[in-house]
Chains A and B, each alone.
Chain A
Amino acid sequence: MIVMSWFTQTLTSSIGKKLIMSLTGLFLISFLVIHATINAMIFYNDGGETFSHWGHFMGTNPIVRTLEIGLVLGFLFHIYDGLMLTKNNREARPVKYASRNANANSTWYSRSMGLLGTLILIFLVVHTSHFWIPNRANQFSTGEELDLYNMMLEIFQNPWVVLLYVAGCFSLFWHLLHGFKSAFQTLGLYHIKYNGLISFVGVAFSIVVPLLFALMPIAMYMGWVH
């Protein structure tokens, strides 16, 4: 119990909550790296052969499947903690300003992480119901994987879906643009020698990963990949 008391105390403190946001955020960022890499296999334009090979590995490897549980938990913690922080933060200012010139001191996206996160969540609901949920459901019931590559080709023929995916990628871009370096700041990883590197990697990552993701539906819709 003693151990739990200091531990929960830490994690429920303002800085502790930020720690959870930061650690889960970095974990989700690492997931994005894998997800983007494997999905980018479609650009081999080999009829989905390479992509499906790796997709099969990810969908069946027991270690990956175990990590997947962590991933779901990571998402849930990130979302729950974000909601808690938002609630506390709102309560800290019960009476709002009538006039607020916040753009003079901060960027709009750094102030809108909750909003951007919500947009990403909406996108995720659509996205997982397109692929991940049907696939796992099918695996659960039949033991067989679905042909995700052809599902993509089919779903991305709908321009509205493509638009939604691109919008989701924009939300992700801004979310990452602030979130990446913010995670390091929260962990206290701030050093004159490495700040430039963190900042550069953060910006590069925020551009490259969402861009790659956005290109997938666009490429399929445009017929660049088939």
Chain B
Amino acid sequence: MSEGNMRLTLKVWRQSNENTAGSFENYQLEGISPDMSFLEMFDVLNEQLVEAKQDPVAFDHDCREGICGMCSMHINGQPHGPLQGVTTCQLHMRSFKDGDTIVVEPWRAGSFPVIKDLVVDRDAFDRIISAGGFVSVNTGNAQDANNLPVPKEAADDAFAAAACIGCGACVAACKNASAMLFVSAKISQLALLPQGQVERKIRAEKMVAQMDAEGFGACSNTQACSAECPKGITFDNIARMNREYLGAKLSSTNV
């Protein structure tokens, strides 16, 4: 499989399961092509490990086209590596130099426990969505789609917020392991659309409460989250969430 000539040293976090301590292992790789994606480079590593009868590195990945949100590597100190606006699967080896040492760690957050090696548990995000990230409309209840005009601007802004892939890079990047960019993206999407108005207040209250219950940190407004977000979810979503939450708390009838 050697079709390139890059040599790399990988320093990879290895951890058998949630309850054992982990540590870094060093691996040497040769023959890496600059056209490979970062995950394909890991495929080469794993092939090499299997050949040597060692346990391959576990890492999450699925679509490998930057949309499923499954891949989640912290590469050289940054979630999804040095490029902005891409996921790990879209990062290519041409972004690295021959001879580089690359440090790869899992997302680090108390709310994202390590399952194995570079794989973490992100169920907390699902639970936050369950708390209120929806419009309560049963199948079959809908009116004709064009009966509800939505200003293009609102639709575009809602789409921009809805583009979140739930990868957790925001949490990984934040010095406080805060999930506010993720939560605010969903709150924003539905607050911007007429469909989301009915449950607007209760949604903000419940989603924030769940976010806190999961143990994520608070926001220090460093904007690291939006800088690292592979989908470019913007920071103003958090301002909107604050507004939605505080407004809801002050005016809703939920005591």
Contact = CB atoms under 8 A, between A and B. Distances in A.
Chains A and B form a bound pair: yes
B92 interface: no
Given A13-B212, A92-B177, A178 B221 contact: yes
A96 B224 CA distance: 16
Contact of A99 (B105, B111, B175): B105
Given A93-B108, A107-B222, A15 B217 contact: no
Contacts of A105: 78, 173, 222-224, 227-228
B23 to A, nearest CB: 10
Interface residues of A, number: 44
B245 interface: yes
B242 A186 contact: yes
Interface residues of B, number: 50
Interface string B198-238: 00000000001101100111111111100110000001101
A42 B209 CA distance: 51
A92 B176 contact: yes
A137 B105 CA distance: 56
A140 interface: no
A105 B83 CA distance: 11
A14 B216 contact: yes
A127 interface: no
Interface in A1-27: 2-3, 5-6, 9-10, 13-19
Contact of A2 (B74, B180, B249, B255): B255
A190 B246 CA distance: 14
Contacts of A186: 219, 221, 239, 242
Given A99-B76, A99-B103, A92 B217 contact: yes
B209 A13 contact: yes
A91 B218 CA distance: 11
A63 interface: no
Interface string B126-163: 00000000000000000000000000000000000000
A147 to B, nearest CB: 43
Interface string A77-109: 000000001001101111111111110111100
Interface string A35-73: 000000000000000000000000000000000000000
12 contacts: A10-B249, A13-B212, A14-B218, A15-B246, A18-B219, A19-B242, A89-B177, A104-B227, A106-B223, A106-B227, A111-B175, A189-B239
Given A2-B255, A14-B219, A97-B77, 6 more contacts: A13-B245, A92-B178, A97-B105, A99-B77, A105-B224, A106-B227
